[in-house]
Amino acid sequence: MSDSIERLYQAVIAARDLDPATSRTARLFQRGPAKMAKKLAEEAVEVVIDAISGKPDAVVRESADLLYNLTVLWASAGVKPEDVWREMERRERLLGIAEKLPKSPVKVPKGLPKTAPVPVVRRRIVALENRLRKRQP
Ligand SMILES: N=c1c2ncn([C@@H]3O[C@H](COP(=O)(O)OP(=O)(O)OP(=O)(O)O)[C@@H](O)[C@H]3O)c2ncn1[C@@H]1O[C@H](COP(=O)(O)O)[C@@H](O)[C@H]1O
């Protein structure tokens, strides 16, 4: 799937400077990030509605539109697909490590007065992330 998105990203970059009268992508770039964001949000809602309505074929079509509009917004924001893949790989490593940790739920002591602040449960993954960040060059 990442190959398809990377090809689409290259096509979006190539279409950016085409004639907005004939290229939807060029028209989106001409109208700017706010319009791109609006289209992306609309497509996300369309995916949600079709999924809840039990229309998998429509979910497929709208997901393709969603990925197209996301790719356009990435290009506009200066984000490349490989930036996102790198973040996903980083989380996979973190989650992979976190999955091996014992899940120790934080026990809130009984009898705390109602006004006492509830202890903030910091997910272990955050601690791991800090450790990994220290290790990275
Ligand atoms: N992958 C896509 C792609 N997916 C979806 N879309 C457009 O996204 C729209 C889907 O959103 P909507 O359902 O809201 O459609 P719409 O109601 O017509 O859109 P609006 O009237 O709301 O603007 C469709 O009209 C498609 O034209 C795409 N438009 C272009 N591409 C690719 O982008 C590249 C550049 O193409 P051009 O933009 O045509 O230069 C090419 O590789 C294309 O294949």
Q: Does domain 2-79 have CATH number 3.40.50.10800?
A: no
Query: In whole angstroms, what is the distance from residue 69 CA to residue 86 CA?
Result: 21
Measured in angstroms, how far is the CA atom of residue 54 from the centroid of ligand 1? 24
User: Which pLDDT score, from 0 to 100, does residue 58 have?
Assistant: 98
pTM, rounded to two decimals: 0.76
Question: pLDDT digits over 28-72, tens only?
Answer: 999 999 999 999 999 999 999 999 999 999 999 999 999 999 999
Domain boundaries, the chain: 2-79, 86-135
> Ligand 1 atom 11: the closest Cα is on which residue?
65
Helices (H), 2-135: 2-15, 24-31, 33-52, 56-77, 81-99, 124-135
Confirm if 46 and 60 have CB atoms less than 8 A apart.
no
Question: pLDDT digits over 84-101, tens only?
Answer: 999 999 999 988 766 666
Q: Which is more confidently placed, 55 or 123?
A: 55
Does the model's ipTM exceed the 0.95 cut?
no
Query: In whole angstroms, what is the distance from residue 17 CA to residue 14 CA?
Result: 7
The response to whether residue 47 sits with its C-beta less than 6 Å from ligand 1 reads no
Is the pLDDT confidence value at 112 over 80?
Answer: no
